[in-house]
Amino acid sequence: MSAAGDDDELEAIRQKKMAELQKVAAERQALSAITQPVHLTDSNFSSETARYPLLLVDFWAPWCGPCRMVAPVIDQLAKEYAGKVVFGKVNVDENPVISNTFGIASIPTMMVFKGGKVVDVMIGAMPKGQIEMKLKQHLGSSGSSSSSIYG
């Protein structure tokens, strides 16, 4: 193979690698922009849980006092963990299919999904520190600002 052929092959490899890096950067930027819990429903739940590498889902209802206590904590964590964890909310009254699928019998219930699969469940109102402790276990690090969902 000629030197020109080697140069062309190297350039093709560089271009492919650059495209991969740009895609990862775009995904990180998109996830960093999610600073509010996403609204999850019976119809979008499967696609949304598969979409995010690490997702905490809060199953709640508007009439539930403890759920209303947890809501501002979830909102705050969504801002603090933007780019690392995506937060979602499911109103159990409006979305009975998904609530029944996961056997939600007590609210608030929070489930952590990693790669679309449930990896942790928290039942009842919990303080921010306890929720963060669980999240940090699944982030695989101290949860510092330098860590991300991409490792």
So where are the chain's domains?
A: 1-33, 34-139
Question: Is residue 23 among the annotated active site residues?
Answer: no
Structure-token match 């469940």, residue found: 121
Q: Does domain 34-139 have CATH number 3.40.109.10?
A: no
Band (pLDDT 50/70/90 cuts) for residue 26 is: low
Comparing 26 with 132, the larger pLDDT belongs to 132
Give residue-wise pLDDT tens across range 64-100: 999 999 999 999 999 999 989 999 999 999 999 999 9
Q: In sequence order, what DSSP letters do the residues of the chain get, joined into one string?
A: --HHHHHHHHHHHHHHHHHHHHHHHHHHHHHHT--SPEE--TTTHHHHHHH-SEEEEEEE-TT-HHHHHHHHHHHHHHHHTTTT-EEEEEETTT-HHHHHHTT--SSSEEEEEETTEEEEEEES---HHHHHHHHHHHHTS---TT--TT-
Residues 6+ apart with CB under 8 A from 54: 84, 85, 86, 112, 113, 114, 135, 138, 139, 149
Band (pLDDT 50/70/90 cuts) for residue 101 is: very high
Query: CA–CA distance from 113 to each of 52, 118, 121, 132, 151 (Å)?
Result: 8, 4, 9, 15, 16
Token code pair at residue 148:
């991300």
Give residue-wise pLDDT tens across range 33-67: 678 999 999 999 999 999 899 999 999 999 999 99
Active-site hit among 67, 70, 110, 149? 67
Q: Is the pTM of this model over 0.85?
A: no
Active-site hit among 31, 34, 56, 64? 64
Question: Is residue 64 among the annotated active site residues?
Answer: yes
pLDDT winner (highest mean) among 20-34, 104-118, 134-148: 104-118
Token code pair at residue 100:
């029944």
